Structure 1
Amino acid sequence: MPLKNLELFLLIIEKGGLSAAGRELGLSPASVSERLAQLESFYGASLLNRTTRAIHLTDEGRVLAEGARRLLDQAEALHSSIRLGTQTVSGLIRLSAPQDLGRQYLEPILEQFMEEHPQVSIDLHLSDGYVDPVGQGIDFAVRYGALVDSSLHAKPLGENRRVVCAAPAYLKRHGTPLQPADLAEHECLVMRFGINLAREWTFSQHGHTQRILVRGRRVANDGALVRQWCLDGHGLCLKSVWDVRDDLRAGRLVELFKDYDLGRTALNIVYPASRAQPRRVSLLMERIAARLSADSAS
């Protein structure tokens, strides 16, 4: 089966439809449908379920997508090692990260990496929601939380704790809450994760846990925007300490409830366990791991 048909299959998944993939390659819808039919005939299985609005991978399609990405990565690595030499770093790297962490920490690393390797291109997906590296064709993701997906490997970067903080200007106007129950009198900035609102903040101290339902007029699914609202004095926010570390050190934000534990999670690089990593991907992963691990220790 020609590799071009596998590339087209992955492009259909990435673009969300046959017509969009055809436009990307300058192919007619009929040509795309014909080449997809050749793939399905070759494997003797339906690879996509299509409706008028969306496409969905069948189980066989999901297996093929993962194998195709691995095969194409290996083919590209072979091409690069022979034609360009084993020391050349080139090609596209797809990665994902949370909004705030990506902007503050990863963007400077990516900028330097691309300056050092001018044949590398980057596709950075910033999202505070869940990203599936296997299903979405991501080479790796920087992610908070424990690894629960057995199809992924994890490279630990350090511990992450959560903090409640506010701008000095907000505290001057509204006073400083001393106990979690005091949050009932304060404006809180709320994160949205998909359809879920993170209005319940958990505080632990001496084995006792309190769950406080906070209120606030501002809700966003963008962690960087929530942090900016907090810096602007619009309310209190619950954030990863990674996101607000520089603000706390500079005095732009003040940490509250220091005697309480608001939760701790790991920060990891996660990547598909069964996918061969091209040299460009492994080098960038190593660079990010070294930088963030150093930041975690500082």
Structure 2
Amino acid sequence: MYDNLRVFLTILERGGLSAAGRELGLSPASVSERLVALEKHYGASLLTRTTRSISVTDEGRIVAEGARRLLAEAEELESRVRFGTEKISGPIRLTAPVDLGQTRIVPILDRFLGEHPDVTIDLNLTDSFVDLVGQGVDFAVRYGTHPDSNLKAKVIGENRRLICASPDYLRRHGIPEHPDALRDHECIRMRFAFGLDHIWSFHVDGQPYDVTVDGQRAANNGQLIKRWALQGFGLCKKSVWDVQDDLAMGRLIEVLKAFAVERTALHIVYPPARVQPRRVRALIDRIAMDLNTGQ
């Protein structure tokens, strides 16, 4: 049963039966047989399969959550018995926003891997939300609130979104003194999975105040958004975590600070398994500590 559960999780993680087979050294037929056996055992379809893709069913999601919990507990027990309580080893899969990941998270991972040579890291840098259970991800670093109430969250810092531009852009186009002035400016917009971020929110006289912005440039990559701003192509809305160094060095200048919205939290989000492998807990704690100490 444990082997079949591992096969099922690998199918989810790799996105298909053939890819799971290559990962596990099994033929596609063998992978399919193990999946069928698992579905017969639970009396439910765990995956919806088409010629182009697979997706996890509600029953499959429940099985995946339980499988990760059971396998984590078994792995934790084996690690303690075989290697002692101080040994940290094995794979960790995580996801983080592009800018924050490259500038803040990757250096932490490099230090962590240097200290724990038996750990492997699989990092997915994306500005879109990742289905942690469906894709077999141990945890995600995310800004703001998380829409999936089935996930657990650990606050690791405070986040503030701000509007900024390069000194060159502001010299050429002027500094906006009120959110309404953004309608006359070139605004570089971020495209998320739910759509284009073309409505920027502020507070005016203590009340929420939204402004619809426009511009020539939009992208789904936060690093590119910042690069365009640094090159003087317009104003952008960024997390303070992403532009701290640029603000300090004068490469970007914050505008409309008096109208900024409230701060939000920076979270680590993870599936609600009762037991996480020690390596995962250790990395979560390291990221939280290093981000808060500025390392």
Q: TM-score range by the shorter chain?
A: over 0.9
2:85 corresponds to 1:92: no
2:42 corresponds to 1:43: yes
Number of aligned residue pairs: give it: 295
2-structure distance, mates of 1:224, 1:81 = 41
2-structure distance, mates of 1:180, 1:59 = 44
Conserved? CA contact 1:163–1:238, under 8 Å:
yes
Aligned residue type for 1:178: E
Aligned residue type for 2:226: R
The offset of 1:270, in angstroms, is: 1.5
What is aligned with 1:287?
286
Conserved? CA contact 2:179–2:259, under 8 Å:
no
Conserved? CA contact 1:199–1:215, under 8 Å:
yes
Pair 24,267 (structure 1): closer, same or farther in 2 beyond 3 Å: same
| SS of corresponding position for 2:259 | coil
What is aligned with 2:230?
231
What is aligned with 2:170?
171
2-structure distance, mates of 1:279, 1:208 = 45
The offset of 1:43, in angstroms, is: 2.1
What is aligned with 1:220?
219
What is aligned with 1:262?
261
2:6 corresponds to 1:16: no
The offset of 1:159, in angstroms, is: 2.0
| SS of corresponding position for 1:259 | helix
The offset of 1:131, in angstroms, is: 2.1
2:206 corresponds to 1:207: yes
Larger mean Cα displacement after TM superposition, 125-134 or 145-154? 145-154
The offset of 1:260, in angstroms, is: 0.7
| SS of corresponding position for 2:257 | coil
| SS of corresponding position for 1:113 | helix
| SS of corresponding position for 2:88 | coil
Conserved? CA contact 1:202–1:263, under 8 Å:
no
Percent identical pairs in the alignment equals 59
The offset of 1:263, in angstroms, is: 4.3
The offset of 1:267, in angstroms, is: 0.9
The offset of 1:44, in angstroms, is: 2.3
Q: What CA deviation, in whole Å up to 9, does each residue of 1:30-57 have, x standing for no partner?
A: 2222121111222222222211122222
2-structure distance, mates of 1:138, 1:180 = 39
Larger mean Cα displacement after TM superposition, 146-155 or 242-251? 146-155
* TM-score calculated relative to the size of structure 2: 0.94
Structure 2, unaligned runs of 5 or more: none
| SS of corresponding position for 1:123 | strand
CA-based RMSD of the aligned residues comes to 1.7
Larger mean Cα displacement after TM superposition, 20-29 or 157-166? 20-29
Conserved? CA contact 2:15–2:135, under 8 Å:
no
